Amino acid sequence: MRNTIWLGILLGFVGCAHHEVTEQISIAGHGAVTCKRIGTEFVKAENDRFAVVEAGLTTYRTEGRNFVRWQFALRPKPATQLAMVEVEDVTGRRPSLLIKDAHPQIEELQWSQQGLLLRATPGSVPWLFSPVDTTHVFRITITEPDGKRSSVYQATRYNADAKNKFRILMGPELQRPTER
């Protein structure tokens, strides 16, 4: 009897485990990329030259105004030297260059950089105020000193709950957003 109970508990845990799902996502230029997801989170992309450590949105507040910006971090594999790092948002119809670092620096075994600040308003970042799930796809390209280029595509998803929590972090005035 005790073994049956433990088997039931074990099967319950296994049944709750998130399974890896492969998802096709449309990108700029009428193409599509395949990204892996476990539960609601996309797996961090990597190739033989580097691995994505972070790709997400961060907040910034100054003088009573709220801003957001994309933040990225990469871990180059041991033999990889960085001459340039480019990050493009390929979610829309056309790629949008977010970061072009012509002098990338490695600190604590990784490269990191933030994009430009964007006002956190429904007019400037409409998807953040929409209750619909939003998926962004970034093409991250590293150019090495010898001219060798390699890219990965990193997806990130924000559901309505995540967007709401993000707005709560920014401040009470964004709970009922109005364009300023």
157-177 residue pLDDT tens: 999 999 988 888 887 655 554
Give the lowest-confidence range in 20-34, 47-61, 123-137.
20-34
The confidence band for 16, taking pLDDT boundaries of 50, 70 and 90, is low
Residue 12 falls inside a structural domain? no
Please check whether residue 4 lies inside any domain of the structure: no
Whether 149 is covered by a domain: the verdict is yes
Q: Is residue 134 part of a domain?
A: yes
CATH of the domain at 50: 2.60.40
Residue 89 domain-assigned?
A: yes
| Domain annotation covers residue 29 | yes
What is the pTM for the complete model shown? 0.83
Spell 82-100 as b/e; 16+ CB within 10 A means b: bbebbbbbbbeeebeebbe
Let me know if residue 95 belongs to a domain: yes
Alpha carbon distance 160, 162 (integer Å): 6
pLDDT in tens, 94-123: 999 999 999 999 999 999 999 999 999 899
Q: How many domains does the chain have?
A: 1
- 180: in domain: no
Domain range for 149: 20-174
